[in-house]
Structure 1
Amino acid sequence: MHAIALDAVDIHILDVLQRQGRISNLELAERVALSPSACLRRTKILEERGIIGRYQAHLSAEALGLTLEAFVHVSMRNDVPNWHETFTAAMEGWPEIVSAYVITGDSHYLLRVIAPDLKHFSSFILNKLYKAPGVMDIRSNIVLQAVKDTPGAPVGLIRLANAAGG
């Protein structure tokens, strides 16, 4: 998939919206130095092109009492039929898993898990994850402190439409 060419104004709109999704069109237009109608038109185009996928509130897991975060590596047995489909279907029903990735390396999956406490996390690992068909090995890393956690896309890496011919 090729990157869509964006100009500096588009990138500025994306940066502001990613940081402040509830900003009004009028305020956004002022921040990016456009008229409200031009700003709204550009924002709609960014939405239609799929660059802006959705608007959502960012909830604080800690404020909600979900204070344990861990990254969990899961290795599967390849001799179990449909192990990938079965495991990914099971993950859909587990709210503790907030992100899941198929990865390279020693494990098949990297999961980001959030739980209220260590007791709940342990129960999740022992009673759900270990019991999933095909699971061979689980390694957990509990987060002690988030040093950097930037949601969304790194807007600073987007190339301008007219930069370097691309």
Structure 2
Amino acid sequence: MQSISLDTLDCKILSLLQANGRISNLELAEHIALSPSACLRRLRLLEEQGVIARYQACLSHEKLGFELEAFVHVSLRHDLESWHEKFARTIQEWPEVVGAFVVTGESHYVLRVLTPSLKHYSDFVLQRLYKAPGVMDIRSNIVLQKLKDEIGVPAELLSAVARA
């Protein structure tokens, strides 16, 4: 994987965008003491290099009525042909799975699942997840309280990359 070289101004741009993705180029330029055209050139370069992967709004799960979030550890049988590829395709079809990770440890995957209720979650697990080909073991960890839920890369880590 190719590493991108960032300077201090790039890191400031990225930090400001993570805090407010709707900031105008003019405001962004003012915050980092650049001309709007120079700021826009840097921003476009960060987008072209893939450093800025996308822009999105962060929605409130609670305000929208999603009361249950769970981290689900899933282990699969290895005796099925293409077990990983089949499972990876299957979870793409489930809207409840909002995050999916291949991990080391006792399970093969960790899924982040979001549902409006315990009943919906129970139905999802029993009617779809347990019935997915090759699923051998499921262990759920239901989120009781969020202590920290950051999206993106913290400014302190961005600055460390710029110094490296």
For 1:55, the equivalent position in structure 2 comes to 55
Which one-letter code corresponds to 1:92 in the other structure? Q
Task: Tell me what 2:122 maps to.
Answer: 122
Whether 2:43 is the aligned partner of 1:34: answer no
Is 1:107 aligned to residue 111 of structure 2?
no
User: What do the CA deviations read for 1:75-134 (whole angstroms, capped 9, x no partner)?
Assistant: 001111211111111101100000000001110000000000100000000000000000
* CA-CA distance at 1:155 after TM superposition: 3.5
CA displacement at 1:2 relative to structure 2: 3.6
1:82-161 to structure 2, matched below 5 A, reads 82-158=82-158, 159-161=160-162
Distance 2:123 2:153 in 1: 33
Q: Distance in 2 between matches of 1:154 and 1:85?
A: 33
2:29 is the counterpart of 1:21 = no
Structure 2 letter corresponding to 1:35: S
Work out whether residues 73 and 109 of structure 1, in 8 Å CA contact, stay in contact via their aligned partners in 2: yes
TM-score with structure 1 length normalisation?
0.94
Matched residue of 1:75: which SS? strand
Change (3 A) 1:138 1:160: closer
Query: What SS is found at the alignment partner of 1:138?
Result: strand
CA deviation digits over 1:51-87, x for unaligned, max 9? 0111111111111111100000000011112111111
CA distance in 1, matches of 2:54, 2:92: 20
Distance in 2 (CA, whole Å) between partners of 1:137 and 1:16 is: 42
Q: Give secondary structure in 2 for the equivalent of 1:12.
A: helix
- For normalisation by structure 2, the TM-score amounts to 0.95
Question: In the alignment, is the contact (CA less than 8 A) between 1:8 and 1:160 conserved in 2?
Answer: no
The 1-side partners of 2:50 and 2:8 are apart by 18
- Percent of matched pairs sharing the same residue: 62
Equivalents in 1 of 2:155, 2:107: separation in Å? 30
Contact between 1:70 and 1:113, CA under 8 Å: does it hold in 2? yes
Three-state SS of the structure 2 residue aligned to 1:87 is helix
Taking the aligned partners of 2:2 and 2:21, their CA distance within structure 1 comes to 26
The Cα offsets for residues 2-26 of structure 1, whole Å up to 9 and x where unpaired, read as 4211111100000000110000001
> Contact 1:98–1:113 at 8 Å: present in 2 too?
yes
Query: Please, which runs of 5 or more residues in structure 2 have no aligned partner?
Result: none
Cα RMSD (Å): 1.1
How many positions carry a matched residue from both structures? 163
Extract structure 1 runs of 4+ deviating beyond 3 A. none
SS for the counterpart of 2:125 is helix
Q: CA deviation at 1:150?
A: 0.5
